[in-house]
Structure 1
Amino acid sequence: MTDHKQECFAGNDFIDEKHDTERASIALEEEENSPIPEVAAIVSNKDDPHLPAMTFRFWVMAIFFPMLLAFFNQFFWFRTNPLFLTPLVIQLISYPFGKFMARVLPAGSLNPGPFNIKEHVLITMAANCANGVAYAVDITVIQKVFYEQDFGLMANWLLIISTQTLGFGMAGVLRRYLVYPAAMIWPANLVQVALINTLHKDEDLLPGQWSRFRFFCITAIAMFFYQWIPGYIFPAISAIAWICWINPKSHILAQLGGPKGLGLGVISLDWNTIVGYLGSPLVVPWWAQVNMALGFFIIAWVMVPIAYYTNLWEAKRYPIISSLLFRTDGDSYAFKKVLDPETKSLSQEGYANEGPLRIATFFTLTYGIGFAGLSSMITHTWLYHRHKLVAQWKQSRTQAEDIHHKLMQAYPEVPDWWYASVFVGVTAITVFYCQFYGYMPWWAVLLAVLLAVVFALPVGLIQALTNQQPGLNIITEYVIGYILPGDAIANVTFKTLGYISMNQALLFTSDLKLGHYMKVPPKAMFISQLMGTVIAGTVNLFTAHWLLNSQPGICTPANKDFRCHFANTFFSASVIWGVIAPDLMFGPTSIYNAINYFFIIGFLLPIPFYYLKRAFPNTWVENIHIPIVLAATGMMPPAMPYHYTNWLALGFCFQFFARRYYPEWHLRYTYVMSAAFDSGVAFFGLLSFFAFTMHDKYFPTWWGNPAKEMCPLDAYPLMSPKGGMPDPWGTSEEGMHVFPIAYVPPTIAGNK
């Protein structure tokens, strides 16, 4: 084996010897830095091209950690109280793991020196590709559970892998416009850069002060033991609805103060409950939380009560917050009766018998708010960022050669044909399996891909500068709903291809910028991202397949541990936009037609705030961000109002109080604490499942673990289908109407 081959085997990033001369020719002027102040303050303007990146340590952790993250997140995605581990956890635990491997492995090709920052970045990039769950898993789940279809494991795998990797080919084109130019900042990456740099910098500890790793371990263990209280022994403290308990038989009080109602005064002492839908409040900037709080209070506690108690769209026939589907009389909508049993598309005869579909007023409003949020993003970006966008776009065409771009010339770039091969190959495979298995026609695949390609660059420009991404999910399902009305599976497949392909393209591009900042060889980034994506998607599918075949009644009210709130939301959306279709649901003949005006409202809303900001500079008006205000309730339901109030309370404690009054502690430990809490809860969830839930062993019933709901009326409509007040105690048979409590709608991830 030649010396050159030995260098490649040791993981020296596929750098050819011919690039040695190029490396030496780069002048590293200490004074030269990024023209962007935020980047110059955080990102190093130096590089050591000789640091090995694709080492044996990298391969071990880049395979193991994405598998672990994908399994955890997919498992908890099904859970009634979901939880998502973020790549931040992998960033933290991979560091001591890498240091340990560097200490114990024999020196040589398996261990070419200390665990270094480039290895760490590549492992982080692989973990980023396993963040969340593969969106297309929802299609597999609703087919099997609700539509009684199963195209087989191979079809499911092709669907998931293709939708997750199609955007990878787009990233190859986008890198020239969104990665190389200095003007394309990608603000979210600066947080990751700061954390990784901090971990690889020696900590200056005061006497008695804990290191971040020690703090992480102790806090994670403490949360693991604490979580047994709200998660198993005393679940009542997950939602203390003290207002409802004043008079549990008062329906209005239950709707206002119940955990499945508006949640006034509900207190949660369960970290999993608080962060399950919204993520950790410990890592969201306070200014953004204030905007979310403003949107939440206006929408959930002002607009919704007014709409409900004035009986807008016959609101009182349905629960105040629900994603269930109803008939006009308020009874459950028998969606199978409107489906053709063979084609699984809309049966006009069945629809005529079952009648128009009705949804809860809050659910309707969330669609309207989603419309407004999408259009407001366009106006907000134009008003607040148009000059910056134009100036930085021009700058990106003339001043791309900043110090970071110069330093990256030391590494061979990924050939365009690598990305083109992925894009063309995945598109061809998608056309084949969609046509062969009957997901949707071949031309619909090309149309969905075209939408993703057209929107990827303009949306990417906005995200690279503002950290905001306008979602295409509503537009894609709207478009295909009119082109192929009545076909639920075609609708969700088209939405997934059009929306997630663009989303994945920008995720990959963002990670390429992270690698650009950290001076990681491009070919190593290509391999790490593609490998992480395929591993994560495969693990997502097999985890879902295992649970779907091992858990009786999964994703239905019959299984209290695995209600699959996100899948239920996705299913409701498939009926609304696919089976019934937008023309019948929101067209001129529908009672919900007025929500189309939310597009106009959202488009106009940022304008007065823009001029108020100009009239009153350096005031609180400057902090109002209309798209964030409108996106505040994007997770409701499945998130309920009390999730928001407790989430905001924790956010105030850490992102405002601790940040202002204990800044050193906040900067050192807050992010670490968030990752530790998530990790402790996740390990509790898995252990309790395999030790108890899997064997149908539950903690004995007592006051803190009641057999019945302690606030039973919060999820009931004000008027039952038979008229009068519902009676959950069964004293009035005429008034009794039991609704399956599987509340679940829209999510920021696009489940709507």
Structure 2
Amino acid sequence: MAEQKQEYTAEKEFIDEKFDIERSSVVLEEEENSPIPEVAAIVSNKDDPNIPVLTFRFWLMAVLFSCLLSFFNQFFWFRTHPMTISTLVIQLLSYPFGKFLARVLPAGPLNPGPFNIKEHVLVALTANCAGGTAYAVDITVIQKVYYLQDFGFGANFLLILCTQMLGYGMAGVLRRYLVYPAAMIWPSNLVQVALFNTLHKDEELEAGQWTRFKFFCVATVGMFLYQWIPGFIFPVLSSIAWVCWINPNNLVLSQIGGAGGLGVGAISLDWNNIVSFLGSPLIVPWWAQVNIAMGFFLIAWIMVPIAYYTNLWEAKKFPILDSGLFMENGNRYAVKTILTDDNVLDLEKYNLHGPLRITTFFALTYGIGFAGLSSMMTHTWLYHRHKLVAQWKQSREHSEDIHHKLMQAYPEVPDWWYAALFVLMTAVAIVTCEVWDYKLPWWGVILAVALAAVFSLPVGLIQAITNQQPGLNIITEYVIGYILPGKPIANVTFKTLGYISMAQAMTFTSDLKLGHYMKVPPRAMFWAQLVGTLIAGLVNLLTANWLLKSQKDVCTPLNKEFQCLSAKTFFSASVIWGVVSPNLMFGPGSMYNSINYFFLIGFVLPIPFYYLKKAFPNSWLDYVHIPVLLAATGMMPPAQAYHYTNWLAIGFAFQFFARRYHPEWHLRFTYVMSAAFDSGVAFTGLLSFFIFTIRGVGMVEWWGTREDLCPLEGSPYIPAEVIPDA
């Protein structure tokens, strides 16, 4: 599910490749360097404190790219096939733009010399703070669309602001333990460092060889032109469900081969469709993709069909893959009929209406999410406990490496800046929830913030070393679901305050470490992150409000372009955990009570693999990663099965085949290609929207635009109309 998503990036793979290829040419200075080999190979151990940073060029590009990135990503979040433009695109675009400004602006305070690497880093970090869509926007969307409730722009913006910036105050405390010590690596940042260094040094090109930027431009234009075919002219290419087409009237064939079913054999020739929920397969390392593939096949193609066709939890009454909410007879659940006027559960109406039912697939994804969370704890303890303990001791001793010593040249951000921001944002959260009717009392806000604060350090220790971030979304909605049952808006608000505050703290801390590596002045980092976060919250909300007002039937099946599948899943979660509550949904006597055993299964599962790996070293067991495997289907729903199969196929082509047989090309261009394809698709999507969609103009209807080629893929095995009412 979207809320259980765990990001798996290419950092470890990139570092391994970079280190292997450059090891022969890297000659470390005899003077002091980082004790971590990967860091010593990639991060410079020199600095010039006189390099200008907060220049006019920086402010211009930071504001411009932050506005563009936050708008693009929020806009595409609403689309039926969403996508995310990564900060990598901004890193690539800002480099030539910065050099252009350095060339055309008059020399002086506005243009203090050549565009430098520290300005570039700061532009990318500002955009990074603005790159993600604010999680609290989901609350605004489900309030307006599903709960028919609107607290107004002021309340929405304040909630977004405090949930996005609470983590910033936590990062100020965490920096002593997660930024300063050499042992806190934050592997994801080494990829960024390598790219910055690559862009700012002259490329040694062979005759006829393209620069990375030329390749980026050509690939972007190529994808921009191609995307018009599956995106507008011939949309059937987005999901070629040929298995279903053999006999469209066969229900089982539709459920197995349909794009809305198990997607067996379904092919997509649409880059936007492939990356819409899982991100780019070009940047995820092969070892992670293998684990994701194993998890996907085990869960989606083995567990789900077995459970469905054996009628586990009356599965056949519902579609095989769906995140919707149902009645006992298979009809859609009318949530508003069991709520009071102020959106609180009316237990009498609920008992009269009947218990909430979800698809067996949806229930299993929650169970797998439970198992993934507990397996992360066990896996981290078994595989990383000695390293974590050693590095925790080192962090407490504040041992200094060369990078920390070089950073002493810059004034540090006073602790009271972070403390004041933390207290202010906590107060804003309390006032917002008390003044407007979020149903979350002041002590609920404090409890959510306390959960985030308590978990931030241990989660940060794990992420800084292993690049894995255990999510608090399940725990937060589970806890508040028991404490405040029947209150959906309180549930999602508590979850956002607890889960996203911690996640934001990790984002800010990671960025602080990148600035540490690149020797960016800490106070410049503070203001850059602050500006990026403010811009993101404002632009995200403005974009969301604009689409909610301008698009008819937005976030419903009636709107083909903007169905907001992530919001639909978020709403379903608010009903399951907030309206109905965990006690009624998963407690004793519930049909789904056995889902709780997945906590135990996940806790135990890594143990045998750990000891098997010790018994059989240097085998395929070295690559088994249970938390990654269990999180494989974390984006289902809203992702469909065929998204995974096509994503894995593209990943195999680049992360296995190209990496093994064309390693130099792979290292040089694969990540650039990923950013270029995302950019090309984004430009096509926006241009198509403003030229055609906003004017209500569509492609001329022909066979290639039909949406009824597999009409039964979302149908239940037992039609709802022949099931007697509850």
TM-score (norm: length of structure 2): 0.95
Letter in 1 for 2:394: Q
Q: CA deviation at 1:396?
A: 2.4
8 A contact 1:34–1:403 mirrored in 2: yes
8 A contact 1:236–1:705 mirrored in 2: yes
State the alpha-carbon separation in 1 of the partners of residues 398 and 69 from structure 2: 39
Structure 2 residue 357 is the aligned partner of structure 1 residue 358:
yes
Q: Deviations over 1:35-75 (max 9, x none)?
A: 11111111111111111111110000111101100000000
State the alpha-carbon separation in 2 of the partners of residues 607 and 366 from structure 1: 22
In structure 2, the residue matched to 1:92 is: 92
Q: CA deviation at 1:721?
A: 1.6
Q: CA deviation at 1:276?
A: 0.6
In structure 1, the residue matched to 2:417 is: 418
Structure 2 residue 395 is the aligned partner of structure 1 residue 396:
yes
Q: Deviations over 1:348-380 (max 9, x none)?
A: 121011110000000000000000000000000
In structure 2, the residue matched to 1:489 is: 489
State the alpha-carbon separation in 1 of the partners of residues 635 and 63 from structure 2: 31
Letter in 2 for 1:247: N
In structure 2, the residue matched to 1:683 is: 683
State the alpha-carbon separation in 1 of the partners of residues 468 and 333 from structure 2: 37
Rate the CA distance shift 1:486–1:399 in 2: closer, same or farther, 3 A.
closer
State the alpha-carbon separation in 1 of the partners of residues 37 and 415 from structure 2: 31
> Bigger shift: 389-398 or 625-634?
389-398
Letter in 1 for 2:698: Y
In structure 1, the residue matched to 2:378 is: 379
Q: CA deviation at 1:29?
A: 7.2
In structure 1, the residue matched to 2:70 is: 70
Q: CA deviation at 1:433?
A: 1.2
Please give the residue correspondences for 1:225-240 in structure 2 after superposition, counting only pairs within 5 Å. 225-240=225-240
State the alpha-carbon separation in 1 of the partners of residues 643 and 105 from structure 2: 46
In structure 2, the residue matched to 1:11 is: none
Q: Deviations over 1:313-345 (max 9, x none)?
A: 00000000001000011111011110011x210
8 A contact 1:473–1:499 mirrored in 2: yes
Please give the residue correspondences for 1:223-262 in structure 2 after superposition, counting only pairs within 5 Å. 223-262=223-262
Q: CA deviation at 1:395?
A: 2.2
Number of residue-to-residue matches in the alignment: 696
Higher relative contact order (CA 8 A, sep 6+): 2
Q: Deviations over 1:227-286 (max 9, x none)?
A: 000000000111111111111111111111110000001111000000010000001111
8 A contact 1:189–1:510 mirrored in 2: yes
State the alpha-carbon separation in 2 of the partners of residues 336 and 349 from structure 1: 14
Letter in 1 for 2:421: V
State the alpha-carbon separation in 1 of the partners of residues 514 and 307 from structure 2: 45
8 A contact 1:554–1:563 mirrored in 2: yes
Tell me the secondary structure at the aligned position of residue 90 of structure 2.
helix
State the alpha-carbon separation in 1 of the partners of residues 280 and 156 from structure 2: 31
In structure 1, the residue matched to 2:719 is: 720
Tell me the secondary structure at the aligned position of residue 722 of structure 1.
helix
State the alpha-carbon separation in 1 of the partners of residues 154 and 396 from structure 2: 44
In structure 1, the residue matched to 2:511 is: 511
State the alpha-carbon separation in 2 of the partners of residues 689 and 350 from structure 1: 43
Please give the residue correspondences for 1:612-691 in structure 2 after superposition, counting only pairs within 5 Å. 612-691=612-691
* RMSD (CA atoms): 1.1
8 A contact 1:182–1:399 mirrored in 2: no
State the alpha-carbon separation in 2 of the partners of residues 400 and 254 from structure 1: 61
Q: Deviations over 1:524-568 (max 9, x none)?
A: 000000110010110000000111111111101111111000111
State the alpha-carbon separation in 1 of the partners of residues 395 and 509 from structure 2: 16
The percent of aligned pairs where both chains have the same amino acid is: 73
State the alpha-carbon separation in 2 of the partners of residues 31 and 398 from structure 1: 23
Q: CA deviation at 1:130?
A: 1.4
State the alpha-carbon separation in 2 of the partners of residues 544 and 206 from structure 1: 48
8 A contact 1:239–1:266 mirrored in 2: yes
Q: Deviations over 1:162-206 (max 9, x none)?
A: 100011000000000000000000011111111111111111111
State the alpha-carbon separation in 2 of the partners of residues 370 and 561 from structure 1: 29
State the alpha-carbon separation in 2 of the partners of residues 479 and 30 from structure 1: 54
In structure 2, the residue matched to 1:567 is: 567
Q: CA deviation at 1:400?
A: 2.1
8 A contact 1:30–1:45 mirrored in 2: no
State the alpha-carbon separation in 1 of the partners of residues 481 and 637 from structure 2: 23
Q: Gaps spanning 5+ residues in structure 1: where?
A: 1-27, 725-733, 735-752
Letter in 2 for 1:559: N
State the alpha-carbon separation in 1 of the partners of residues 711 and 686 from structure 2: 29
In structure 2, the residue matched to 1:179 is: 179
Q: Deviations over 1:374-421 (max 9, x none)?
A: 000000000000011111222223362100000000100000011011
Letter in 1 for 2:320: I
In structure 2, the residue matched to 1:740 is: none
8 A contact 2:180–2:398 mirrored in 1: no
Structure 2 residue 429 is the aligned partner of structure 1 residue 405:
no
Tell me the secondary structure at the aligned position of residue 574 of structure 2.
helix
In structure 2, the residue matched to 1:203 is: 203
State the alpha-carbon separation in 2 of the partners of residues 399 and 487 from structure 1: 45
Q: Deviations over 1:122-152 (max 9, x none)?
A: 0111111112200000000000111111111
In structure 1, the residue matched to 2:550 is: 550
Please give the residue correspondences for 1:591-606 in structure 2 after superposition, counting only pairs within 5 Å. 591-606=591-606
In structure 2, the residue matched to 1:9 is: none
Letter in 2 for 1:584: L
8 A contact 2:78–2:555 mirrored in 1: yes
State the alpha-carbon separation in 1 of the partners of residues 585 and 282 from structure 2: 39
Letter in 1 for 2:367: G
In structure 1, the residue matched to 2:4 is: none
Q: CA deviation at 1:638?
A: 1.1
Letter in 2 for 1:425: L
State the alpha-carbon separation in 2 of the partners of residues 716 and 33 from structure 1: 62
In structure 2, the residue matched to 1:344 is: 343
Q: Deviations over 1:283-325 (max 9, x none)?
A: 1111010110010010000000100000000000000000100
State the alpha-carbon separation in 2 of the partners of residues 433 and 266 from structure 1: 47
Structure 2 residue 311 is the aligned partner of structure 1 residue 311:
yes
Q: CA deviation at 1:589?
A: 1.4
In structure 2, the residue matched to 1:334 is: 334
Q: Deviations over 1:4-30 (max 9, x none)?
A: xxxxxxxxxxxxxxxxxxxxxxxx975
In structure 2, the residue matched to 1:21 is: none
8 A contact 2:176–2:395 mirrored in 1: no
Letter in 2 for 1:158: L
State the alpha-carbon separation in 2 of the partners of residues 395 and 647 from structure 1: 40
State the alpha-carbon separation in 2 of the partners of residues 611 and 587 from structure 1: 34
State the alpha-carbon separation in 2 of the partners of residues 479 and 491 from structure 1: 9
In structure 2, the residue matched to 1:216 is: 216
Letter in 2 for 1:371: F
Letter in 1 for 2:721: K
Structure 2 residue 578 is the aligned partner of structure 1 residue 587:
no
Q: CA deviation at 1:709?
A: 1.4
In structure 1, the residue matched to 2:20 is: none
State the alpha-carbon separation in 1 of the partners of residues 432 and 275 from structure 2: 37
In structure 2, the residue matched to 1:13 is: none
State the alpha-carbon separation in 1 of the partners of residues 350 and 314 from structure 2: 20
State the alpha-carbon separation in 2 of the partners of residues 399 and 687 from structure 1: 52
State the alpha-carbon separation in 2 of the partners of residues 280 and 552 from structure 1: 30
State the alpha-carbon separation in 2 of the partners of residues 638 and 395 from structure 1: 42
In structure 2, the residue matched to 1:608 is: 608
Rate the CA distance shift 1:152–1:399 in 2: closer, same or farther, 3 A.
closer
State the alpha-carbon separation in 2 of the partners of residues 88 and 469 from structure 1: 21
Q: Gaps spanning 5+ residues in structure 2: where?
A: 1-27
Letter in 1 for 2:336: K
In structure 2, the residue matched to 1:15 is: none
In structure 1, the residue matched to 2:19 is: none
> Bigger shift: 119-128 or 388-397?
388-397
Letter in 2 for 1:533: T
